[in-house]
Structure 1
Amino acid sequence: MKMIVGLGNIGTRYDETRHNTGFMVVDQLARDYHLGAFTHLKQEAVAVSGVINGEKVMLVKPTTFMNDSGRAVGPLVDYYDIDLDDLVIVNDDLDMPVGKVRLKTHGASGGHNGLKSIISVLGTKNFNRVKVGIDHPQHGTVVSHVLGKFSKEERPKFDQAVEQAEHALEDWINGEDFAKLMNAYN
């Protein structure tokens, strides 16, 4: 089974915010493949499972807040015996412009607290990621930026990035090597 974890913050006040980019990508996959509603798991997450192009897939959204994402991801990886090659984390990235998608097979957190938490709990930096750019704030604080919504001008670029991230995930689900996908999508 492949597991795709979208990072974000729980609660309606965070819906459609930049920091919920990971949630939005997995929500789109769930809608496009008619996987149904996300249900609560005992591992501090909501998830939906199904078959996408012949491959069993679990889409996950931690119900911890972003900074504690590892608290959900670690137990899920253990419980479902997920090989790290079969795990992808989808997250927002301040260091990339809105509309940019980047795949990585390993690396540091880049200052992303959700990734820091996952790295700490898994004990490794070696797991696949799909990063979606949300850009640095032009004005105000980083916190207000990541917890803010995309502007009317940014939204079309962001929607295109969600679609591109979804295509990359579909290619991975279909058996494409993640490292090779980096060349195609980065």
Structure 2
Amino acid sequence: MLENENKRGPFLVVGLGNPGLEYLRTPHNAGFMAIDRIAEQEGVVVQNRRCRAVTATCRLAGRETILAKPETFMNLSGVSVAALIREFEVDPARDLLVIYDELDLVLGTFKIRERGSPAGHNGARSVTSALGSQEWLRLRIGVGLDLPPEAKEAGGKRPGRDYLLSPMRKGDLAKLDEVLDKVATATRRIIQDGPGPAMNEFNRKEQ
């Protein structure tokens, strides 16, 4: 068993987003921000260009880990993810985590899921298409607005493309900043103990 574990390749953590300064602090770049936070904590810089992404290598929870931010723009994220999987000989069913924003989750929260449909997220749709499967681990960072009950009852619509691609307000960035540290901790837990224990710990509904 130990021999097999030692032969395992690196773990791949991919954050989805759009390259370019104009997208830097937008809700749609929460995945990029998560990768940058992990890299900052590990003292590495995500700047090596390969597989149409910028990458960095570090050790998370004792495991060699590739941090990556695709430069293909969100809608073609899967092209880069598939190339990274081939380059590093990663098993996408057990050694891949994709981090991205989720409008259906309120800002300040996140959820880990082992599989599922893209649910309207173009980056997730691209990854599913490139891998030919919905069986890949994802961590979705909430960027949705916490609408008051009366707005929900009145059929308040969730924000769309303009909101996702517009710079976040200072207060919202502060909320996201707190979550990014938890996301980094959850990522280490996933690598160390697997998705099951991580989901049990971090998917509990916060009061």
TM range (shorter): over 0.9
Structure 1 match to 2:202: 185
- What does 1:146-161 correspond to in 2, within 5 Å? 146-161=164-179
Unaligned runs of 5+ in 2: 1-9, 148-156
Give the C-alpha shift of residue 96 in structure 1. Answer: 0.6
Seq. identity, %: 30
Equivalent in 83, 86, 89 of residue 95 of structure 2: 86
Root-mean-square deviation (CA, aligned residues, Å) is 1.7
Instruction: State the distance in 2 between where 1:74 and 1:181 align.
Output: 25
- What does 1:46-125 correspond to in 2, within 5 Å? 46-84=54-92, 85-125=94-134
CA distance 1:39–1:97, shift in 2 (3 Å):
same
Report the TM-score when normalising by structure 2.
0.84
Instruction: State the distance in 1 between where 2:46 and 2:75 align.
Output: 25
Equivalent in 8, 11, 15 of residue 6 of structure 1: 15
Letter in 1 for 2:89: D
Give the C-alpha shift of residue 179 in structure 1. Answer: 2.0
Report the TM-score when normalising by structure 1.
0.93
Instruction: State the distance in 2 between where 1:185 and 1:141 align.
Output: 26
CA contact 1:104–1:179 (8 Å) conserved in 2? no
CA contact 2:107–2:146 (8 Å) conserved in 1? no
Computing the radius of gyration from Cα coordinates, the structure with the larger value is 2
**1:23-61 residue CA offsets vs partner (Å, 9 max, x unmatched):** 0000011111012342111x2111011223421000000
The runs of at least 4 aligned residues of structure 1 exceeding 3 Å deviation read: 136-141
Name the count of aligned residue pairs. 184
Unaligned runs of 5+ in 1: none
